[in-house]
Amino acid sequence: MNIQTVLQLFRRHFDWTLALTIMAISLLGLLNLYSATRYVPQRGLFQQQIVWLGLGALCFLVFALIDYRTWLRASWILLILGILALIGVMMFGHTVNRSTRWLGIGSFGGQPSEFIKVAVILDLARLVHDRGSGMTLIDLATRVGALVLVFVLIAIQPDMGTAVMVGLICLSILFLMARNVRWLLRGAGLFCLSAPFLWKYVIWEHVLRPKQKGRILAVLDPSSDPAGLAWQGRQSVFAIGSGQGTGKGFMQGTQNKLNLVPEQMTDFPFSVWAEEWGFAGSMVFLLLYFVLIFWTLNVASETRDRFGATLCCGVAAFIFWHVFANISMVIGIAPVVGVTLPLVSYGGSSMLTFFIALGLVASVSIRRHARA
């Protein structure tokens, strides 16, 4: 296909539903960020975010233009690069809040753990695509091994939130794309039965750090530790609740102004939004996310090749789990873990990753009608 035909395809089949939904979410997010960064000591965060948004839009278009099947054979290279970057983080990374997640050269830096989610999705899509066409058990073992390695590397940063996100994305893809689900269902059943024991004797005793345990306890019983660990979550709940039906108005959030809600631009932007725009505003956001996820799944169902379909399912899972985990945490029904809100949270790595992922979906969407 030459450039001419690509552009023609682009004009005829460009997915406006997807693009407009994305635009709506990110512009509302930007508006919200203006308010959220108004009362924090750091300056220039809003301008920085505009730059990220512009770069993100560019990435979206570029990845939409490129045929997604280009990535089929390159997926394992991306994954290896991602793993190398994670190892680099482990060795030379920056430490913020006692967690080493950042890799930077000069002032340019990023979180490989964000970008690797796309590589994981691409690699899983290829796994699904390749199955049955002469894939040996060794091939399978290497692939699964690589994914487990990614999970472990992120978990030891420590960034439990992101590690769990990667795990959930993998499981979601397997459930949606596996040929025979019976074994998966049996596995799930077994997991459910053993979960309480696994939780109590393995995870609780040996995996979780005291801080993480505290956050979990804080959700189960908010009054157990009001001044300490649950404080962030409590402030967020107060802010959201006080928004009532229609909110306090743009830039009028008292909790936001007092800087009572922690990390209001990175992990808690929804709390600022819900305080200032109320239940009505919250619903607008939830609806937009629902449309985005639903539409991505729809593209998946209409796509004829397995690689594209799996890709879309993976991105849908990626967005869904992020939205669900972030908002649950913000409204106090899940522990406080550092998971970003897609297209809204402040930060370059997260922003670009979501735009790249959605660019891939757009690429699939444009080409779903054409004959392969």
Partner 1 sequence: MQLSLRSHRPTSGMPQQGKRLWWALAVVVPAFLLLTGRLWQLQILNGAMYFERTTDNFIKERRIVPIRGRIVDHHGKTLVDSRPAFNVYADPRKYQEKVHDRLIAMLAIRTDRATSAWRRASVAIADRRRRPVLLFEDVSWQQMASIEQGASLLPGVSVRDTPRRLYPYGQLASHVLGYMKEITRRELEQWSDDGYKPGDYVGRYGLEMRWERTLRGTDGTERFVENARGARVADAEADELIEGDRLTPPEPGRTLVLTLDLDLQQIVQKALGDHPAAGVAVVEVKTGRIRALVSKPGFDSNMMTGRVTSSALKAMNDSPYKPFLDKTLKLHYYPGSTFKFVTTLAALESKLQHPNHVTTCNYSVRVADRIFHCNRRHGPVAMADAMSQSCNVYFYELSQVVGIDRIADVARDFGFGSPTGLDLNGDVRGRVPNKAFYEERGTFRVGYTLNTAIGQGDVEVGVLQLALAYAAIANGGRLWLPQLVERVVSATGNVLKEYPARLRHRLHVSEESLLELRRGLFGTVNDKKGTAYSHRIEGLLVAGKTGTAQIRGGRREAPAGSAWHPQRDHAWFAGYAPADDPELAIVVLIEHGGSGGRVAAPIAMRILREYYALKTTAAARGGAP
Binding of partner 1 at residue 365 (CB under 8 A)? no
Cα gap 120→353, rounded to integer Å: 12
What b/e sequence results for 290-321 when a residue is b if at least 16 CB atoms lie within 10 Å of its CB, and e otherwise?
ebbbebbbbbbeebebbbbbbbbbbbbbbbbb
Q: How many CB atoms lie within 10 A of CB 259?
A: 12
Binding of residue 346 to partner 1 (CB under 8 A): no
Question: Residue 157 or 310: which CB sits closer to partner 1?
Answer: 310
> Binding to partner 1 by residue 39, rule CB under 8 A?
no
Q: For residues 263 and 1, what is the distance between their CA atoms, to the nearest angstrom?
A: 47
Task: Decide: is 145 part of the binding site for partner 1 (CB under 8 A).
Answer: no
Give ∠ CA 106-111-113 in degrees, rounded to 5: 150
Name which position in 29, 56, 167, 278 contacts partner 1 (CB under 8 A). Answer: 278
The closest of 297, 314, 318, 259 to 122, measured between CA atoms, is 314
Q: How far is the CB of 230 from partner 1 (least distance, A)?
A: 9
Report the residue from 109, 175, 208, 251 that binds partner 1 according to the rule CB under 8 A: 175
When asked if residue 231 is in the footprint of partner 1 (CB under 8 A), the reply is yes
Helices within 37-98 (DSSP H only): 45-65, 70-92
Spatial neighbors of 360 by CB under 8 A, at least 6 apart, are 63, 68, 71, 118, 122, 311, 315
DSSP for 299-314? HHHH--SHHHHHHHHH
Q: Which is nearer to partner 1, 121 or 177 (CB)?
A: 177
Closest CA to 94 of 83, 107, 82: 107
Residue 200 structure tokens: 């109590």
Nearest to 15 by CA among 370, 368, 366: 366
- Count interface residues toward partner 1 (CB under 8 A): 57
177: contact with partner 1 by CB under 8 A: yes
Kindly tell me which of 52 and 295 has the beta carbon lying closer to partner 1. 295
- 3-state secondary structure at position 338: coil
In the complex with partner 1, the residue whose CB is nearer, 194 or 254, is: 254
Q: Which residues contact 31 (CB under 8 A, 6 or more apart)?
A: 250
Based on the shown chain and the rule CB under 8 A, indicate whether residue 282 belongs to the binding site for partner 1.
Answer: yes
198: its two tokens: 């696994």
Stretch that binds partner 1, among 43-51, 93-101, 188-196, 231-239 (CB under 8 A): 231-239
Give yes or no for residue 361 binding partner 1 (CB under 8 A): no
Among 307, 346, 354, 355, binds partner 1 (CB under 8 A): 307
Q: Is 146 a binder of partner 1 (CB under 8 A)?
A: no
Burial of residue 67, with CB atoms counted within 10 A of its CB: 0-12 exposed, 13-18 middle, 19 or more buried: middle
- Of positions 28, 119, 240, 360, contacts partner 1 by CB under 8 A: 240
**Total length of the chain:** 372
Candidates 6-14, 20-28, 45-53, 325-333 — which segment interacts with partner 1 by CB under 8 A? 325-333
Q: Is 284 in the site for partner 1 (CB under 8 A)?
A: no
State in angstroms the smallest separation of the CB of 301 from partner 1: 4
Q: What are phi and psi of 224, to 5 degrees?
A: -65, -30
Residue 47 or 133 with smaller CB distance to partner 1: 133
Q: Which is closer to partner 1, CB of 37 or CB of 172?
A: 172
Q: Which one, 170 or 274, has the nearer CB to partner 1?
A: 274
Residues within the interface to partner 1 (CB under 8 A): 17, 172, 175-179, 226-227, 231, 234, 237-245, 254-255, 258, 260, 262, 274, 278-279, 282-283, 286, 289-290, 293-294, 297-298, 300-310, 313, 316, 320, 324, 327-328, 331-333
